Amino acid sequence: MTLHDVTRAFEEIYPPAWAASWDAVGLVCGDPAQHVRRILFAVDPVSAVVDDASAWGADLIITHHPLLLRGVTSVAATTPKGRLVHRLISSGIALYTAHTNADTAAPGVSDALAAAVGLDGDLRPLDPDPTDTEGRRGIGRVGALPRPMALREFAAQAAAGLPETAAGVRVSGDLDRQVRTVAVSGGAGDSLLGAARAAGVDVYLTSDLRHHPASEFAEHDDTALIDTAHFASEWPWLADGAARLRGTLGGERANVETRVSTTVTDAWSQTF
């Protein structure tokens, strides 16, 4: 397989056209003609992930987060991102990003998150993509647990289903209240607090909730909140993305290996 073959197949699953207008997705560095035998999936394009890729002998890293989200005029090795670009190129490792196009896909990032925290059955978008006539794509998902449970039990279940991070999960609401319907959104989700309330769910699980919006939301006391680490809420998608890529490339017939990085790249390493 060439890098062109792999990226073409991946873009059949997660078309770049689905990405938000402000986003930066696609091939960051790499020669489309180079051969690809090993692909590492990771959330963040950081040095620890490149360490993983180099140690395994990966030819391509596919990350969820972009390396160069905003325009740059230089990738000189005088900055952390510039050094990473130089290191990737000198090591012959390509880098590809699928960000909001993977968020809105069905299945996408939030479908994997919903499964990881225990939602069962059909899911619908929390913020539907108006261009999808089937109504399946969009940001976030709304679904239900197999049975009602106390908020404390669901929070523990969610924490167990996600990668362990220093901060764990934070909960707002009566821990003994019964919850059944759940909205989830991988990554930063406080822009969808209103959508979660409008959906009438018992609990909304997302990441990067800020104090003031969360405090105002909690005053209504109709929907509990669970705040997870940003990295943790998006990590479950990696295995799904890898599996779907292998299937599109021909499954076991394709001479390509995939692996999900287990390196925790959450920004916070310790709590005191």
**Quick check: 88 and 125 in contact, CB under 8 A?**
no
Query: Is the Cα dihedral 58, 62, 65, 66 positive or negative?
Result: positive
**In angstroms, rounded to a whole number, what is the distance separating the alpha carbons of residues 224 and 202?**
6
**Quick check: 237 and 115 in contact, CB under 8 A?**
no
* Token duo for residue 225: 């909140």
Residue-wise pLDDT tens for the chain (272 aa)? 999 999 999 999 999 999 999 999 999 999 999 999 999 999 999 999 999 999 999 999 999 999 999 888 899 999 999 999 999 999 999 999 999 999 999 999 999 999 999 999 999 999 999 999 999 999 999 999 999 999 999 999 999 999 999 999 999 999 999 999 999 999 999 999 999 999 999 999 999 999 999 999 999 989 999 999 999 999 999 999 999 999 999 877 778 999 999 999 999 999 99
Q: CB-hemisphere CA count at 13 Å for 152?
A: 3
* Token duo for residue 71: 């325009």
What's the pLDDT score for residue 254?
79
What's the pLDDT score for residue 236?
98
C-alpha of 219 from chain center:
29
What's the pLDDT score for residue 66?
98
**SS (HEC) of the chain:** CEHHHHHHHHHHHCCHHHCCCCCCCEEEECCCCCECCEEEEECCCCHHHHHHHHHHCCCEEEECCCCCCCCCCCCCCCCHHHHHHHHHHHHCCEEEECCHHHHHCCCCHHHHHHHHCCCEEEEEEEEECCCCCCCCCEEEEEEEEEEEEEHHHHHHHHHHHCCCCCCCCEEECCCCCEEEEEEEEEEECHHHHHHHHHCCCCEEEEECCCHHHHHHHHHHCCCEEEEECHHHHHCHHHHHHHHHHHHHHCHHHCCCEEEECCCCCCCCCCCC
What's the pLDDT score for residue 71?
85
In the sheet with 60-63, reading across from the earlier edge strand, the strands are 26-29, 94-97, 60-63, 38-42, 257-260
What's the pLDDT score for residue 251?
75
